[in-house]
C-alpha cells in the first residue's frame, strides 16, 4: 500500500498545462546571461572548472524549477504556519503533561532567516501556554530548556508568563535542562516547582551584560567622524562613535547593577540560597550540574524520562498520564527529543537559518556570551 503522504503530495503537483511558473522566463533569462559571461576554456584544467560552473548553474535552475512547478507546500517562500495541534508522545490516561521546548536565543523579536522569518521564542512559548490554559486536562507543564539566555526583557517576559500560567491554573511547572540553561534561560526557570538538569548541563551565569560596538578606533584610521547636536548632557551616552567618559561609565554601570540585582534577588526568592552559595552564584560564573545541585540552583540531576516521572509525582498524576506536545504538523516516530512547534508546516527546498549571533543588537542581556555562537 502506498504511503498516504506521497498520495497527498501527488495531488498537490500542478498539471502539465500549469507546470511553467511565471518566474521561469526570468530564471532562464538570468541563466543565459550568466552562461554568456563564461568564456569556454581550451586547456583541460580550466575545462574542469568550467564544467563545475555549468553543473552549479544547472542545479540552481533545477532548484527554482522544482519550487515553481509545485503547489504551495513546496514553495520555498511559503512561510504561512498551520495551527498548533496536540500530539501524544506516550500514555493513554485522561490527564496530561505538556512539554514545551525553549531553544536558542531568548528574544521577543522574530527570527530572521535568508528567505523568511519565524516566531520569536517568547511568542512560541506564550502561544503554547495560552492553548494549555484552555485545556483543563493538562495538569502540568514540563519546560525543556536549551538556551544560553537572551535579552533582559524577553527573559523577564517569559518568567512573568510562566509564573502567571502557574497562578491562574494551579498546575505544576517543572524544568529539564539540556546542554545549556544559562543566564536568561535560568531566569525563566525560576517559577518551576522542580528543576532537573541533565548530567552534562551547564547552567548559572546569574548576571547581566551590556554589549555595544565601539567604532572609534576604526573611524580614526580611515579619517571618518560623526558630528552630533544634542539636547541633554547624556543624550548620546553609550554612543559607538566616541569613548565614554567617567561619568557615563558610572551611570551605565548603575543600570547594569540594577538589572543584575533584580536577577539575583529573584534567585534568592525562589531558591532560598544560603549566604555562601549566594555569594558564589553572584559571581555570574557558569556551573556544571553537580555544582549547581550543591548550590541548590537545581533540585535533581537526571534525564528527560526522569523529569517526566518527577512531574507526574509532584502533580499527583498516575503512571498512565499522557505526555503531549504541540506541533504544527505530524511527525513520524515522534519522541521527547524533537523540537516543537516553531516552524511552519510547509516543506521548504531551501532552509537556511541565520546564526543568532548576527541578530544580536546593542543592549542589556541575561546571556552567557561563551555560548552565543551556538544558539
Would you say the C-alpha torsion 104, 374, 369, 264 has a positive or negative sign?
positive
Residue carrying the nine cell digits 554601570: 253
Q: What is the DSSP string of 150-193?
A: EEHHHHHHHHHHHHHHHHHH--EEEEEEEEEEETHHHHTTTT-S
- What are the CA-CA distances from residue 199 to residues 13, 58, 141, 288, 290 (Å)? 48, 48, 21, 8, 8
Reported as type and span, the H/E element at residue 135 is none
Grid cell for residue 150 = 537572551
Listed in sequence order, the residues at least 6 apart from 249 whose beta carbon sits closer than 8 Å to its beta carbon are: none
Grid cell for residue 244 = 565614554
C-alpha dihedral, 160 to 145 to 323 to 138, nearest 10°: 0
Grid cell for residue 257 = 547593577
- What are the CA-CA distances from residue 301 to residues 21, 103, 202, 268 (Å)? 55, 20, 12, 21
Which pairing describes strands 172-182 and 202-204: parallel, antiparallel, or unpaired? Answer: parallel
- What are the CA-CA distances from residue 241 to residues 62, 185, 237, 270, 284 (Å)? 47, 32, 10, 41, 29
Grid cell for residue 36 = 554568456
Query: Catalytic: 183?
Result: yes
Grid cell for residue 236 = 548620546
Please pick, among 147, 155, 174, 183, the residue that the annotation labels catalytic: 183
Q: Which of 182, 180, 175, 174 is nearest to 201 (CA)?
A: 180
366 exposure class (CB count in 10 Å sphere: 0-12, 13-18, 19+)? buried
Q: Which of 117, 179, 108, 122 is nearest to 145 (CA)?
A: 179
The number of CA neighbours under 13 Å toward the Cβ of 152 is: 19
Please pick, among 52, 235, 249, 309, the residue that the annotation labels catalytic: 235
| Active site residue ranges | 183, 235
Amino acid at each position: 500500500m502506498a504511503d498516504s503522504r506521497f498520495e497527498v503530495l501527488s495531488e498537490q503537483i500542478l498539471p502539465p498545462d500549469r507546470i511553467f511558473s511565471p518566474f521561469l522566463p526570468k530564471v532562464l533569462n538570468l541563466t543565459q546571461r550568466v552562461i554568456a559571461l563564461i568564456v569556454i576554456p581550451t586547456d583541460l584544467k580550466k575545462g574542469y572548472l568550467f564544467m563545475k560552473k555549468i553543473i552549479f548553474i544547472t542545479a540552481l535552475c533545477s532548484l527554482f524549477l522544482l519550487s515553481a512547478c509545485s503547489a504551495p507546500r513546496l514553495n520555498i517562500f511559503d512561510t504561512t504556519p498551520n495551527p498548533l495541534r496536540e500530539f501524544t508522545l506516550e500514555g493513554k490516561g485522561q490527564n496530561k503533561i505538556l512539554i514545551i521546548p525553549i531553544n536558542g536565543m531568548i528574544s521577543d523579536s522574530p527570527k530572521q532567516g535568508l528567505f523568511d522569518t519565524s516566531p520569536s521564542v517568547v511568542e512560541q512559548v506564550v502561544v503554547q501556554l495560552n492553548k494549555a490554559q484552555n485545556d483543563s486536562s493538562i495538569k502540568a507543564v514540563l519546560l525543556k530548556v536549551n538556551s544560553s539566555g537572551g535579552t533582559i526583557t524577553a527573559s523577564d517576559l517569559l518568567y512573568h508568563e510562566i509564573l502567571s500560567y502557574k497562578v491562574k491554573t494551579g498546575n505544576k511547572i517543572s524544568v529539564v535542562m539540556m546542554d545549556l540553561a544559562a543566564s536568561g534561560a535560568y531566569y525563566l526557570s525560576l517559577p518551576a516547582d522542580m528543576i532537573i538538569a541533565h548530567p552534562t548541563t551547564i547552567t548559572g551565569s546569574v548576571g547581566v551584560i551590556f554589549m555595544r560596538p565601539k567604532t572609534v578606533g576604526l573611524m580614526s584610521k580611515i579619517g571618518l567622524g560623526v558630528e552630533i547636536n544634542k539636547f541633554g548632557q547624556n543624550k548620546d551616552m553609550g554612543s559607538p562613535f566616541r569613548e565614554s567618559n567617567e561619568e557615563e561609565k558610572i551611570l551605565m554601570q548603575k543600570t547594569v547593577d540594577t538589572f543584575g540585582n533584580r536577577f539575583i534577588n529573584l534567585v534568592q526568592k525562589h531558591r532560598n540560597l544560603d549566604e555562601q552559595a549566594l555569594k558564589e552564584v553572584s559571581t555570574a560564573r557558569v556551573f556544571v550540574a553537580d555544582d549547581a545541585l550543591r548550590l541548590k540552583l537545581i533540585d535533581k540531576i537526571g534525564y528527560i524520562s526522569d523529569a517526566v516521572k518527577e512531574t507526574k509525582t509532584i502533580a499527583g498524576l498516575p503512571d498512565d498520564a499522557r505526555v503531549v506536545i504541540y506541533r504544527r504538523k505530524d511527525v513520524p516516530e515522534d519522541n521527547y527529543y524533537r523540537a516543537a512547534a516553531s516552524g511552519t508546516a510547509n516543506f521548504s527546498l531551501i532552509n537556511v537559518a541565520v546564526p543568532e549571533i548576527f541578530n544580536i543588537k546593542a543592549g542589556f542581556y541575561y546571556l552567557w556570551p561563551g555560548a552565543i555562537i551556538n544558539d
